[in-house]
Amino acid sequence: MIRNLYHGSNTIIDKPKFGYGKPYNDYGLGFYCTDSLQMAKEWGASVNQNGYANCYELDCDGLSVLDLNGTAFCLLHWLAVLLENREFDVPSGLALEAKDYIRTNFSVDYQSCDAIIGYRADDSYFSFAQDFINGTISYRQLNNAMHLGKLGQQFVLKSRQAFERIQFTGYEVAESKEWYAKKILRDKSARREYFSAERGRRQRGDLYIMQIIDEEMIPGDPRLR
């Protein structure tokens, strides 16, 4: 199966290189792409500089692709990967205990796969995850918050084999005036919806991280679907 992918950047990248990049991204070292050309343009543009949406085709036949949004996983599996790679504020004992509990019980063997599909933790979405870890919002609210602003998901190349399969097909310019403004608007929209509709809106039966820890919930628990 051929998959069309896009990568937003301030440069044209005709040959992604295995082993390069920032190790502290959401899923560690890898090449971060999206299925959306529009999203790539937002990621590529900066405040005073045009960017590029690099376009690729990836032959996925025979590749091991880990889909963290699949039915075999819940949101805590995604969070466990994020906790392994990103720096979280842990201002309380609860936050520290939550971090250890999630990493211990919901860890995923993502390093052995060729590619990963999962949410992208932009600034606003990362703050939602931190609120959950700190016990401010419930599991239901976190699930809802991840869909605010329609951020979508990312496709991350991890293995040398995956890098050998990706082919550059061209690029489109992302003009700063248009696409950076859209990126800021998307983030602001997600935060506005979050504070008006989710943060503080508790419902009867909501699950908070303290209850998940106290009741020793593990993968497969129907309450975490």
pLDDT (tens place) for every residue of the chain, 225 residues total: 899 999 999 999 999 999 887 778 889 999 999 999 999 999 999 998 999 999 999 999 999 999 998 999 999 999 999 999 988 777 778 999 999 999 999 999 998 999 999 988 777 778 888 999 999 899 998 888 877 656 668 999 999 999 999 999 999 999 999 999 998 888 888 777 777 766 667 778 899 999 999 999 999 999 998
Q: What order do you get walking across the sheet with 153-157 strand by strand?
A: 31-33, 153-157, 115-119, 65-67
pTM for the full predicted model: 0.88
Measure Cα distances from 23 to 27, 52, 178, 203, 225 in Å.
8, 22, 30, 38, 30
pLDDT for position 153: 82
- Per residue in 129-147, pLDDT (tens digit) is 899 999 989 999 888 887 7
Sorted by where each begins, the domain ranges of the chain are: 2-224
